[in-house]
Every structure is written in structure tokens, then in C-alpha cells.
Structure 1
């Protein structure tokens, strides 16, 4: 199996890769962080480190993880800590369907039929833009789109690791950018609304409050990612020379056969049936299980977004089964079960890593270190007497720093927003612009931390194409994107504020306190 980098070109990225790969296995990295967070919790609890929740007024104190209660919770709750890890269920559910679509040959036929229509030079911007649009699929994009991007690049004769890097950069590093608002906007701006009402009780959430800024991220990040992939990442990787194992994964260059075309037609009908079922669950009069009729506005569609995971599983299962029956790769229901089993077998390395990742996240949450760190950091902004653009960049950088250790965007924002949003409102910055700066910072460093919940999955995908890939390989692969996105994000925030561009429909950069009647 070839190396993930060109050994003839020593450079700082290759040094990053060598140093990173010299680290212990990711399992032991997470084990080390578990021991570290336990030690920090004991130390912080002993000195009484705490912070006040600005909304509830509740005192948040760091808890020692070596108390009887926490040790009991750790040892007794190990099964539920693992099964309750959010990405785990999502990955396994989607993989049940994706395994059928892959093993039946559906993915191969789709790529074979479509890859010839995309010029080789246009692969990077196409993959990146599709990755940005995949955010509404939540973490399912990691399970489905990143492996497909690797296949697309390999079929085009380009390095599959470059495809993985481009897709990962779009899905995770560009998480704040999208063309169409979705559930993340509703979630984060809902948190913003509660924080803003500490200053303005009449403030109401604008679910489109970050729309124009999100589109701006797409416009700025797409050419940056294109340059990084084609001029930095792929040249460093060198020519791709597949071995026997990886060559078997590549889509053949021949055009579609008559059987494959027939299979795709059957798969298309099956996909339409699943889509029609979900549409009926939204629009059928008097029967809308995927709409929350008690909610108002965009929040009514929350059940639909949450059902997308099951929807993708059913979509891949139904279309893969239909394709397989048409071309002969599926002869009975036993073949479907076998394909699902094979898909689960490939996830074994991921399951081992996830056990330790889930316990690190759980212990970090139990300790209260996350919200206390976030609140303390947000309060530090209060002491900075700097212009608005630089103040927002400070928030962006602080958010980026926290993102290296605290993966959940909503968890960080729940702790930071009650301090940051009211503070910046008093300084003349709108809640929507504050949220946009936070989201930018929360996105750009996602691809640079092994503590990100889907990082183990990306590592497993890389190892499928390069057995020697380790944590350092992924970090060296993604570091150029992270640094470029961070610089571009800071410039975008400063330019947006300096030009006073609207952040979204009806959402300005600035904020004026309501006039109080005498």
C-alpha cells in the first residue's frame, strides 16, 4: 500500500504527518485524554472553579470525576454511555442501507454513469459544493459522501485521499456555509434568541438571520478549497498507484451496460417511492408525522430533519435492493442480510475507537469543565476595548479554540451565548452577526481535532485507501484547509462588518437598543 504522502518532498506538512503518526493509536489518545480530564476535574474541583450561568443564575461548579457518584456512573453506565454516543447510532443505521447500495453495485453504477459528465479539472469544486449542500443530511454526509468522493477521484485517476480531504473540508470545515437554511440555523439562532432577550425581552428569532452570511461562506470557501486541493494537497500526495486491494474498489472506466441501466431505472423508482412516502408524511391532510403542528415557523419541520437518518437508510436499502434484483447481484432476501452484515463488519475498527471517544465526551460533560471554560472565555471578551470587527474576530478565534476540545456546537453556544450575545448587543452588534461569527469559528477547526466525533470515521475511511494512514496523516491532510479557512473566515467577518452587509433577510450587522419611554 502506498504512503499517503510524497516522501521525496520533505516539508512541514510531512513533518506534521510523521509527528502525528508517531502518536499512540487513537484509542490510547482518547484514553490519555480521559485520564487528563479526570485529573483536571479533581484539580479544578479542589480549588472551587466555577462560573455563573447568565440565564438561570445557577452556579456551575466543576465536579471531580473521582467522586463516588461519578465513578458509579462511569462503571455502571458503560453500555449506555457507548450506545448513547450520538454519532454511533447514526453511522450504524445509515450503514445498514449504504452497505446494500454499495455491495449490490448501485454506487458503482451511479459513479460510472455520472463521472464522465464532470471534467477532471472540475471534480474539486463540484465535490466541495455538493459537500456544502450535504449539511442538511447531518452526520450521514460523513458516512455516505466522503467514501463516494474517494471513489470519484480514484475513478478519474486522481488520488482518492484528495477526494476525502475535499469532502471532509466541505462537510466539516465549511459547516457554517450553506445555500439553504436548515435545522442548525433554527437550533443555534434559537439559543441566540433566549440570550438576546436578557437585553431585549421583545427580541424574536429570525431563522433566516444568517442566510446571506452562509452563502458568503460558500462563495469564499469554494475557490479557497479548490486551490488548496489542486495546488497543495494533491501535489504533496503524489500520483496514485493502487495496489490489488484498492484497485478493486475503483469504478471501471467502461460505460454502463444494458443491465446497469435497467438496474438504475429500478433503483430510481424505488428511490421515488421512499421520497414520496416522506413527502406524504409531511403534506398528507390530517396525517403529518414528520411535522410538529404544535410548533411555529421553521421549527415545525424539526421532526423531518431528524428523520433524515432513517430516510437515508431506507433510501439506500430500497434502491440498492431494487438495483440488485434487476442486475442479478441480489437473488434473495438472504443476500440483503449478508450485505448488511458485511457493512457492519467493516465498522469494527470504528466501534473500538468510539467506545473510548464516547467515554471521553461523557466524562468531560459530567465534569462541567466545558460550560465553565466557555463562560470564562466569553467573559474575557468584556475586557477587550477593540473595534467591532476585531471584537468579532476575537469571538471567532475563541470559538475555534474551544472547538478543538468541545465538539458540540450547540453545547458551546448554550454556554457562551448568554454572555457574548448580550455583551455585544450593548456594544452595538446584532445577535445575528454575533451568531455568524461564532459559527464561523466553530466550523473551521472541526477538521483539525481528533476529538471531533466523526474524526475516527474519517480515519477509518482513509485507511481503506492507505493502510498506513494514522492520525498524523489526516491532520497533515487537513491542516492547509484549516489554516486557509481560518484566515478567510477572519477576513470575511471583518469585511462583512466593515461594509455593514445584511447578515440575512431582516438581519443587520448592527444593533440599536430599544428606546425606553420615560
Structure 2
């Protein structure tokens, strides 16, 4: 990793230290294997100690640590290994999405569209637009992790800027800004349902009038707020530290040729036709991809966004390749897709070891123990007001380093914290928003986040020496800035008393 020729600042020295320490960690494939083995050992130790906690949300029920080194545990290890690999959440999403993206990339469509984009807009707005697009990508669930970071790298390379800076800006928007958006998404549904259920244990009448858009006003404003923060961090911290790119990858920025313009015209025409056809599957009230009662947020359409993305990239990419003669027959298509999949070998290997760790961690119930002990600590310190909310944010941010799934973590924490906050006079809506701020902000600095491995794989295309410490050092400024300033925005919101969303008060007066 190169650095600026000027004397490094205190912040840059700290990040360099984090990079050096982090890079002493084993290769990510090895690290996940070691962590999986550590979970096995801890499960045996804690199980032998008889460790148990009360199950969140299930009064009278207890949760114990499952010993994976027992006879039944060893049986589980051997019989589940293939399933743990296959069921690793990003594996199918990434590989399937790359079918569509791969053909668009290999035919040159993505490159030529980025060149056209760069030539047509003010360069000062490109970083903001990239972070903003990353934040908005949460509408498409996890697909943004696969689509935008590599596009951001290509975009910055075409501008003569460090491609890792573009990858980092996109990754920050997609992951650290996951809970901000101009639209409601599946996240609002998943978390909202859990919040309403937790609130009903204290005040069923209050829970009945809650709605899934309870945080909408705040996340709407946060979209622009975080895009600005992410842009400033990129331009004044990340890019100066990365310095000039000295790698082999180059993206030439030249004017579009007549053939390329013709290819764009026909590919965009095919994209428009594809969009219309897809819209017929979702827009009409009786469309086949609508949910029960005509719902859109909870619907087969939202469950099939990966397929939609594959189609949205594949068809225009195919048309562009045919028009520009980059594709002449079906063999060319198969070869280009094969080349794309060949580049995913490291990610597949990472998915195998990471899948074992994630499965073991869940099977042992260690995540539940961490969450419950965190909740007990928050109760024991007897804080109130803004300090309570800020400590809650910090605790959730820390827990998020070990439990990546927002919904799984909230399923554990909501039954504990929502009632606590309500008893202290704070609304479930506020508790949920504080949770979302913390959960999103630290996503980008934990190797245990399910998409961290694919980001490293993308980054290594531009810097073969990129390792865990290097990526954490690049992303840490975003994480700290988002956590700090997003929390301050929430504090300001609390002080002004502005509703967080439709019927989304700050205080609870039940």
C-alpha cells in the first residue's frame, strides 16, 4: 500500500499501524479456519462450565452452549460441512450475479458506460454519486456488495485515481450506509416486525398503532447526510493515504467510438424493453411477483432481486457484445462467462472456510451469549437520556463485529432492549433507529461480515498484497466517521423532537 509523500499525520500513522498489525493475521482463508477451530474449543470449554442464559423473549427458557466437540457435535461437523459451504449466504448470490455482470464486463459494456458517465458529469460529483449509489443499493438487499465496489474501482481507475479508493467509497456506501435510503426496503420490514413484536410485550395497544415506516424520515435525511460524510472521508483521508496508484491495472479514458455508441444505443434499448417486461411482473395489482394483498416490500419480487439483476446486466451486455462483434456465437458467451467464474476461485475457497465458521458460531449459541451479556451490562450501568442511547450504539456496534446479520442480531436484542427503553421513556422507534445506526456503521471493519471476503477478493485484483489489515485500515475512517456523525444526527433529532417517521415519536409515554 503506497502512502503520501508528505509527512504522515497522526491519523495516517495510526492507520498504518492498524494495517501492519492486521496484516500479521493469517490469510483470510486460514483465519476463518482458525476461528472455526476456536469456536469448537470454546464451545467445549463453556459447555463443560455449564454456562447458560435466559433466552431473550422466551421467559423461563434457557439457552446453553452447544458442545461441538461432543459425539453429537463431531457428527454435526462431518455431516454439515458441505451444507455449511453451500448455504454460506453470499456464495450463491455472488456467483449467480456474476453471470450477469460478467457478460456485461467482458463485452466491454460496463467500461464504455463508465467512460461515457465520466465524460458527461462534473468530476467533483463522482465520489458523492458513488457513495450515494452505494447507500441506495440497499433497496436491492445484498446485491450492492457484488455490483458497486468493483464498478467503483473501475470508475476511479478510468479517472486516473486509485481504484481502491473507488472500491472503498462504494463499499462504505453499500455497507456502512445500509440503513439509510430514500425508499423503504426489506430491512425496514425485517427489523420493524421484530420491534413491533418486542413492543407488544410491554404495551400491546401501542404496538398495534406502530408501522413499518417508523424510521423513514430519519433514513431519508441520512441518505444525503452520509453521502456527504463518505465523500469528505474519501477525498481528505482515504485517497491521500492511498497515494498514487502504481499497480498494473489501467482503465483508459478515451472518447467513445462510433461502434461503441451504436452498441450503447442498442444495449440501452434492450435494457428499456427488459425493464418494461419486468415491470409487467410487478406493477399491475395482480402481477405474479406481487406479494399477498398486492404487497411490494414483502413479495416474490423482493425475494428474486438477484435474478432481476442478472437479467438487467446479461441482456444489455449480450446485445452490446453482438453489436460490437465482441460476441459472434454462443461459444464466445460461454468462454466469457467461464473467464468470469475462473476469477472467482479465491472467493469460493474463502466461502468454504467462512461458511464453516459462521455455521459453527450459530450452532453453538455463542452469539446469543454475547448479546445477552451486552444487554445485562447496559442495564447495570443505570444510564439515562442521550448517554444511554450513545452507550447502546457503542455496544451494538461492538456486537456487530461478531454477528453480521442485522435481522438475526435484532431478533436477539429487540426483546431485551425495546422493553428496557420503553420503561425508561424512549420509544421503540428510537431504539430501532439507534440500533440501525450502530449496526450499519461497523459492518465494513469486521472480517466476520459475510461479504468482507468478496471485497478482499475484488481489492486483490488491484493490489495483490491487500490483506485483512490493509482493508480494515482503508475502511476504518469511514466507520468511525459514520458512527460519530450519524450518532450526532440522531442526538440532534432527539433534542428537536422531530418524529423519526410517520407516527414515529422519540418519547414513549405509555
Which TM-score tier does this pair reach, normalised by the shorter chain?
Answer: over 0.9
Give per-residue Cα distances to partners, 1:26-49, cap 9 Å, x unaligned.
Answer: 111112211221222122212222
In the alignment, what sits opposite 1:104?
107
Decide whether the 8 Å contact of 1:9 with 1:236 is kept in 2.
no
Q: Determine the C-alpha separation between the residues in 2 that align with 1:308 and 1:54.
A: 32
Q: Which residue of 1 aligns with 2:396?
A: 399
Asked if 1 retains the 8 angstrom alpha-carbon contact of 2:50 and 2:64, the reply is yes
1:244-294 CA distance string (max 9 Å, x none): xx12xx1x32221121111112211222233223211223464x3311225
1:149-228 matches, cutoff 5 A: 149-202=152-205, 203-204=207-208, 205-228=210-233
> Any unmatched runs of 5+ in structure 2?
none
Whether the aligned pair in 1 keeps the contact of 2:199 and 2:418 (CA below 8 Å) is yes
Aligned to 2:268: 268
Q: Does 2:20 correspond to 1:18?
A: yes
- Contact 2:53–2:369 (Cα < 8 Å) also in 1: yes
**What is the SS of the residue equivalent to 1:51?**
strand
User: Are the counterparts in 1 of residues 289 and 301 from structure 2 also a CA contact under 8 Å?
Assistant: yes
Q: Which residue of 2 aligns with 1:39?
A: 41
Give the Cα–Cα distance (whole angstroms) in 2 for the partners of residues 81 and 154 of structure 1: 37
What is the CA–CA distance in structure 2 between the aligned matches of 1:208 and 1:388, rounded to whole Å?
Answer: 24
Residue of structure 1 equivalent to 2:150: 147
Q: TM-score, normalised by structure 1?
A: 0.94
Partner of 1:120: 123
Give per-residue Cα distances to partners, 1:301-328, cap 9 Å, x unaligned.
Answer: 4321121101111111111101111110
Q: Match for residue 290 of structure 1?
A: 289
Q: 2:305 is matched with which residue: 308, 312, 320?
A: 308
Per the TM alignment, residue 118 of structure 1 is displaced from its structure 2 partner at its CA by: 2.5
Mapped contact 1:5–1:14 kept (Cα < 8 A): no
Look up the match of 2:502: 505
Displacement of 1:220: 2.8
Corresponding residue of 2:255: 255
Deviates more, 1:9-18 or 1:169-178: 9-18
Instruction: State the shift of 1:470 in Å.
Output: 1.1
* 1:336-375 equivalent positions in 2, closer than 5 A: 336-375=333-372
> TM-score normalised to the size of structure 2?
0.95
SS in 1 for 2:347: helix
Q: Which of residues 475, 486, 497 is equivalent to 2:483?
A: 486
Aligned equivalents of 2:372, 2:131: Cα separation in 1: 34
C-alpha distance in 2 between matches for 1:88 and 1:394: 35
Determine helix, strand or coil for the equivalent of 1:382.
helix
Contact 2:153 2:166 in 1 (8 A): yes
CA distance in 1, matches of 2:184, 2:145: 19
Does structure 1 conserve the Cα–Cα contact (< 8 Å) formed by 2:154 and 2:163?
Answer: yes
Question: What is the CA–CA distance in structure 1 between the aligned matches of 2:278 and 2:44, rounded to whole Å?
Answer: 49
- Residues 207 and 298 in structure 1, CA contact (< 8 A), matched pair in contact too: no
Q: Measure the CA separation in 2 of the matches of 1:8 and 1:493.
A: 37
In structure 2, C-alpha distance between the alignment counterparts of 1:182 and 1:146, rounded to whole Å: 21
Q: Report the counterpart of residue 329 of structure 2 in structure 1.
A: 332
Mapping 1:66-145, distance limit 5 Å: 66-145=69-148
Q: Do 2:43 and 2:364's aligned partners in 1 also have CA atoms closer than 8 Å?
A: yes
Deviation at 1:334, TM superposition (A): 1.4
Check the 8 A contact 2:56/2:413 in 1, yes or no. Answer: no
Range with greater deviation from structure 2 (168-177 or 39-48): 39-48
Q: Counterpart of 2:204 in 1: which secondary structure?
A: coil
Matched, 1:381 2:397: no
Q: Aligned partners of 2:379, 2:285: CA distance in 1, in Å?
A: 52
Consecutive unaligned residues in structure 1, runs of 5 or more: 514-518
Q: CA offset at residue 9 of structure 1?
A: 4.8
What pairs with 1:377-456 in structure 2 (closer than 5 Å)?
377-456=374-453
How well do the aligned residues superpose, as a CA RMSD in angstroms?
1.7
Instruction: Answer whether contact 2:2 2:245 (CA < 8 A) is retained.
Output: no
Change in 2 beyond 3 A, CA 1:511/1:363: same
After TM superposition, give the deviation of residue 8 of structure 1 in Å: 6.9
Deviation (angstroms), 1:486: 1.8
1:4 to 1:87, Cα distance in 2 relative to 1, 3 A: farther
Gap change, CA 1:333 and 1:23, over 3 Å in 2: same
Q: Is the 8 A contact 1:4 1:473 kept in 2?
A: no
Contact in 2 for aligned 1:379/1:419 (Cα 8 Å): no
Q: Which moved more, 1:55-64 or 1:426-435?
A: 55-64
Query: In the aligned structure 2, how far is the partner of 1:285 from the partner of 1:239?
Result: 53
Misfit runs of 4+, over 6 Å: none
Aligned residues: 503
1:92 Cα deviation after fit: 0.4
Alignment-derived partner of residue 516 in structure 1? none
